[in-house]
Chains A and B, each alone.
Chain A
Amino acid sequence: GQNIDQPTEMTATEGAIVQINCTYQTSGFNGLFWYQQHAGEAPTFLSYNVLDGLEEKGRFSSFLSRSKGYSYLLLKELQMKDSASYLCAARTGANNLFFGTGTRLTVIP
């Protein structure tokens, strides 16, 4: 079957760095996405990894290890507006995205 595990909740301080981990077991793995979702809003794309390694995009970075079935999202210089849910999703096949239940991040002053 398919499974994605990520922590349910995390809390971090404004200005700090936080790492959100995701482990996955899927068949036909074809890439790993991270989405951000503010409460009551639609998910928005943050990053995509298909090869092993780190992808950096401003304050956000994402890492993938295919052999370990592991990814993380790194958020630097946290801001209050970063309080949101972060969804890890594995692409299986050509178009199917299998999502985890998300990690709700709370940034405190």
Chain B
Amino acid sequence: DAGVIQSPRHEVTEMGQEVTLRCKPISGHDYLFWYRQTMMRGLELLIYFNNNVPIDDSGMPEDRFSAKMPNASFSTLKIQPSEPRDSAVYFCACRSGGQSDTQYFGPGTRLTVL
């Protein structure tokens, strides 16, 4: 298995532009999570899906952020319009069912908004 795949790995954009981050989870893992990591705040959960349905989006910072999961093998996190304070590393993670099952993280997308 290739593990969790994220693209792009690096993104540099200008303030006001739309940014779309992509994630392909491990096959058969029906939970998908989006996290943001910064030096100041550490790793923060933004939103998670179960069987393609958004379950908890309370961590999404504001309306500029949106996430979708149109099928079991693909999810997107979109920021529109982007701002410099959105600069961070965005991780996608997934897990299968069960209470003790760990989350497997993708390599992350390093976003820089100028």
Contacts and interface: CB of A to CB of B under 8 A. Distances in A.
Same complex for A and B? Answer yes
Interface of A: 30-31, 33, 41-45, 48, 50, 87, 89, 94-102
B44 A31 contact: no
A101 B100 contact: no
**Do most interface residues of chain A lie in helix, strand or loop, or is the interface mixed?**
strand
A101 B40 CA distance: 8
Contacts of B31: 95
Contact of B43 (A30, A31, A43, A50): A43
23 contacts: A31-B99, A31-B100, A33-B102, A41-B107, A42-B4, A42-B91, A42-B108, A43-B43, A44-B105, A45-B102, A45-B103, A48-B100, A48-B102, A95-B31, A95-B48, A95-B55, A96-B45, A96-B56, A97-B33, A99-B44, A101-B41, A101-B42, A102-B42
Contact of A87 (B43, B45, B48, B104): B43
Nearest to A47: B102
Contacts of B43: 43, 87, 89, 99, 102
Contacts, number: 47
Contacts of B45: 96-98
Contacts of B25: none
Contact of A100 (B42, B50, B105): B42
A102 B40 CA distance: 11
Interface in B1-34: 4, 31, 33
Contacts of A98: 45
Nearest to A91: B99
A87 B108 contact: no
